[in-house]
Amino acid sequence: MYAAPVPQTPTGETPVIETRGLSKVFRRATAVDSADLTVRPGRIYGLLGPNGAGKSTTLKMLLGLLPPTKGDVRLFGQPWNRQALSRIGASINGPSFYGHLSARQNLAVHAHLLGLPATEADHVLEAVELTGTGRKKAKSFSTGMKGRLALAIAMLGNPDLLILDEPQNGLDPEGIAALRTMMRRFTETGRTIVLSSHLLGEVSSVADDIGLIAQGRLRYQGSLADLAPDGDLERAYFTLAGGAHESQAVTP
């Protein structure tokens, strides 16, 4: 395990996530190659990269869903440990819920599984503005509503960190704007979000910091403003990610 003293960011805060040499090899294919991530508290960190860049694999390793082949992960200043997961809410691999249950019933089931009071369900339902869905079954929700429900499930238990894999997928501009507002609200209290996306425009509309990954390697990490001081994010992205012809980056 990575056993260096608790590292700090230039501003002196302990990172919420810090990885060193994080790598994942599937058979002989390297999906993530020596990634050194630093995620600061209170920030929205956008993990950006083309399809197949290694974003989901990275998030899964942070959550212990995949064992790293090499490298270390620290969460909240401590070497990776299961207890830290109780401080993390996550939505990976798209929304997953019981289709025959309402939003509130879904949340009540998840709250129960987490040992939380049922009132917690109402709390997150309100946070994602799904209180008006009543008895409507989740299977008949629109993509945007399903996205909100997935976010609500991840927010149960008042986590300090949200890890969201492509939360903007399938959302219309209104849904993306609503998600942005919910995410901003979440981080206003010093909490942190890591989200992945291959959509440059959507990440740039919400993220404070960017980790740009391509072919498993972290090509850039820092503030969104520093990624493209001239304001041309698309050019910066294509330069770092390896060229428009290879990349799936899309601006809305």
Query: In this structure, what token pair is assigned to residue 18?
Result: 């810090």
User: Site residues for ligand ATP, window 163-222 (CB under 6 A)?
Assistant: 198
- The count of chain residues that interact with ligand ATP, using the rule CB under 6 A, is 11
Q: Which of 16, 17, 22, 31 is close enough to bind ligand ATP by CB under 6 A? A: 31
Strand 88-91 relative to strand 161-165: parallel, antiparallel, unpaired?
parallel
Q: Which of 41, 46, 54, 89 is close enough to bind ligand ATP by CB under 6 A? A: 54
The region of 47-55, 94-102, 114-122, 129-137 touching ligand ATP under the rule CB under 6 A is 47-55
Q: Which residues pair with 20 in a beta bridge?
A: 72
Interface with ligand ATP, residue 51, by CB under 6 A: yes
| Half-sphere exposure in the Cβ direction for 121 (13 Å, CA) | 16
Integer Cα distance of 127 and 4 in angstroms: 38
Q: Which of 42, 52, 64, 157 is close enough to bind ligand ATP by CB under 6 A? A: 52
Q: Which is nearer to ligand ATP, 76 or 220 (CB)?
A: 220
Q: Which of 56, 91, 168, 221 is close enough to bind ligand ATP by CB under 6 A? A: 56
Query: In this structure, what token pair is assigned to residue 118?
Result: 């049922």
Considering Cα of 198, then 80, then 82, then 114, what sign does the dihedral take?
A: negative
Q: Which of 16, 37, 53, 236 is close enough to bind ligand ATP by CB under 6 A? A: 53
| Half-sphere exposure in the Cβ direction for 45 (13 Å, CA) | 26
Residue 109 CB, nearest distance to ligand ATP (Å)? 27
Integer Cα distance of 78 and 141 in angstroms: 39
Q: Applying CB under 6 A, which residues contact ligand ATP? A: 26, 31, 49, 51-57, 198
